[in-house]
Amino acid sequence: MSTLTAPIEAPPAGPGRPAYRVTGKRVLSSEWAKLWSLRSTWITLGLGLLFLVAFGLIASSRYKSGMGSGHMDPDFADSTAVSLSLFGTNFAQLALGVLGVLVMAGEYSTGMIRSTMAAVPRRLPVLWAKAAVFGLVTLVVGILGAFITFGFGSGIVSGTPAAMSLTHAGVLRSLLGAGLYLGLVGVIGTALGALLRSVAGGISVLVGALMLIPGLVSLLPSSWRGDISPYLPSNAGASMFALTHDSTTLSPTAGLLVFLGWTALALAGAAYRLVRRDV
């Protein structure tokens, strides 16, 4: 007795599902969308711009009133329209740097970093994309704020010894340098967030590096202070947008190179921990 077995036909193959590819462009688009989906982004960027513009205009107004009354504050005696307009840079850098820490460390605090790294298993493209996106945004905000403040500030101090225009030597370079400095501060904040994986820790290190360490170095003997102080992150960054320089400060190009070195160091530390440690 023989048994006939009907051949089993395989189901027709459906259309193939396209393989998902992680590309640099897609990672950048993802980080761009995540950045602007946070309410803190709009608030903190607005605060950074407000600090830059408001304090610059306040300094310009104070200089103008001092000239009119004949009782000039010694701290403003040698000011220029550029230095007065960029007076708020130190305040803006805190807002933008803190936001940079939040952009990266915030994902660790919420646990969202696991989803991010599952989508981008190689990890490092996430760091590069976050740093590039946020650095570009803070660069634009910094340049915009510097030019807005100078436009109004130069009008306030018009007719005084501090008066300057964009055609004066070094003015354009200083304004662009201030924007670049703030952009790099944002990148450093992002790197610190990835390196320390803690919002509080990242902000503490950022504030310490930009504001506390220069004050501590000033307590050192003068022979040591002269060799160390110009190469600190905040002082090297300030030389990028300073209109005049002396023997105790770096040139704009040297300041830029030193500050780029600090930025690269922070990114290298963040990249090393991101690759070596689990999220």
pLDDT (tens place) for every residue of the chain, 279 residues total: 445 455 555 555 445 545 557 787 888 898 999 999 888 899 999 999 999 999 999 999 988 887 766 676 666 778 889 999 999 999 999 999 999 999 999 988 888 888 888 888 888 999 999 999 999 999 999 999 999 999 999 999 888 888 888 989 889 999 999 999 999 999 999 999 999 999 999 999 999 999 999 888 888 888 788 889 999 999 999 999 998 888 788 999 999 999 999 999 999 999 999 998 877
The set of residues, in sequence order, having a beta carbon less than 8 Å from that of 237 and lying 6+ positions away, is 181, 184, 185, 255, 259
HEC states along 33-51? Answer: HHHHHCHHHHHHHHHHHHH
d(CA 223, CA 71): 35
CA dist list (Å): 254 to 25, 222, 244, 245: 33, 22, 14, 12
Q: Residue 70: what pLDDT? A: 66
Contact 206, 188 (CB under 8 A): yes
CB 248 within 8 A of CB 230: yes
Pair of tokens at residue 67 = 């000239």
pLDDT at res. 2: 47
